[in-house]
C-alpha cells in the first residue's frame, strides 16, 4: 500500500486540514502538501474551497492535476495566494465535494444495473452521466431507475483496498471504463468496493471520492437516454434531494 497518499484518498469526509505551501507554478497554480483538494480526473471535477493563514485568505476555484498527478490549486481571479513556506488551513467547499461523492457512487451502481462496458462519463454536484458501449438503450427506464434505487436503499457499505499494477494487469475484468485508465503511477491501484466482501455488488479501480454508505446518495432520477454513436448510449442521472 502506498504511504504518500493525499488526504482526500484517505478520508473523503475530511473537509478541513492544515497544509504547507510548497510551490508556485508559472501558470499561476500552487501546490499544498499534504493535499486535501481532489484534482480533476476520471470524470470527477476538481475541488474548490479556500486557504487561510494569519492575515490572509485565498479562494480556490478549481484543482487540476500537475506533473506526476498531484493536486495543483487554482486561485480565483484577484485572490492573492500565500507565499511558499506558509502554513495554511485548507477548507473545502463541502456541499460541492459531497455532491460529487454522491453522484460518483451512484454512477458506479448505474454500471451494475446496466452491465455493459463504460465508454465515458462525467460528474457534477447534482447530476452525472455514463456512456455505455451497447447497441440499444434500455427500453424501460422506470424499471431501471427502480432497480438502481433499490440498490441505493440497501445502504451498502463502500470501502477501498489496494492491489499492485501487476495484479490489476492479471485481472483486466476489473476495469469497466474503457475511456479512462485506472489511476496508476505508484505501483499500486486503489479499488472501490460496494457491498461486503461476502456479498459484493461492485468492485473497480477508481481514484475518486465516494460516500461511505450507498444510502447517503439519497433519491435519484434517471434522465435522458441518448444515442451518441452506433454502439454508444448515454444515460443521465440526477440527484433528487
Domain range list for the chain: 7-92, 97-239
Query: Which pLDDT score, from 0 to 100, does residue 135 have?
Result: 84
- Cell numbers that stand for 142 in this block: 422506470
Tens place of pLDDT per residue across the chain (241 aa):
333 468 998 899 999 999 999 999 988 899 999 999 999 988 999 999 999 999 999 999 999 999 878 899 999 999 999 999 999 999 999 999 999 999 999 999 999 999 999 999 999 999 999 999 998 888 899 999 999 999 999 999 999 987 675 665 656 565 656 445 555 455 667 889 999 888 899 998 888 999 999 999 999 999 999 988 888 999 999 999 8
CATH number corresponding to 7-92? 2.40.30.130
Q: What is the pLDDT of residues 125-170, one digit of tens each?
A: 999 999 999 988 888 999 999 999 999 999 999 999 876 756 656 5
- Domain 97-239 is of which CATH architecture? 2-Layer Sandwich (3.30)
Query: Which pLDDT score, from 0 to 100, does residue 176 have?
Result: 58
Q: Are strands 71-75 and 118-123 parallel, antiparallel or unpaired?
A: unpaired
Look up the pTM and report it. 0.90
**Torsion over CA of 129, 168, 12 and 202, rounded to 10 degrees?**
60
130: left (phi over 0), alpha (psi -120 to 50) or beta: beta
**Mean pLDDT score of the chain, rounded to an integer?**
89
Amino acid at each position: 500500500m502506498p504511504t504518500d497518499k493525499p488526504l482526500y484518498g484517505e478520508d473523503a469526509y475530511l473537509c478541513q486540514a492544515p497544509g504547507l505551501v510548497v510551490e508556485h507554478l508559472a501558470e499561476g497554480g500552487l501546490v499544498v502538501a499534504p493535499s486535501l483538494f481532489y484534482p480533476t480526473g476520471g470524470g470527477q471535477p476538481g475541488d474548490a474551497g479556500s486557504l487561510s493563514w494569519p492575515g490572509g485568505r485565498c479562494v480556490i476555484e478549481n484543482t487540476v492535476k500537475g506533473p506526476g498527478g498531484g493536486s495543483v490549486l487554482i486561485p480565483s481571479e484577484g485572490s492573492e495566494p500565500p507565499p511558499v513556506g506558509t502554513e495554511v488551513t485548507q477548507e473545502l467547499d463541502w456541499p460541492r465535494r459531497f455532491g460529487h461523492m454522491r453522484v460518483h457512487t451512484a454512477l458506479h451502481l448505474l454500471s451494475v444495473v446496466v452491465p455493459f462496458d463504460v465508454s465515458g462519463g462525467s460528474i457534477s454536484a447534482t447530476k452525472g452521466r455514463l456512456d455505455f458501449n451497447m447497441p440499444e438503450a434500455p427500453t424501460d427506464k422506470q424499471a431501471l431507475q427502480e432497480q438502481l434505487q433499490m440498490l441505493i436503499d440497501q445502504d451498502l457499505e463502500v470501502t477501498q483496498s489496494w492491489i499492485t499494477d501487476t495484479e490489476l494487469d492479471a485481472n483486466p475484468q476489473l476495469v469497466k471504463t474503457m475511456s479512462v485508465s485506472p489511476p496508476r503511477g505508484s505501483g499500486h491501484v486503489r479499488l472501490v468496493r460496494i457491498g461486503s466482501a461476502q456479498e459484493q455488488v461492485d468492485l473497480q479501480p477508481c481514484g475518486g471520492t465516494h460516500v461511505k454508505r450507498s444510502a447517503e446518495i439519497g433519491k435519484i432520477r434517471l434522465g435522458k437516454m441518448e444515442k451518441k454513436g452506433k454502439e454508444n448510449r448515454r444515460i443521465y442521472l440526477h440527484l433528487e434531494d
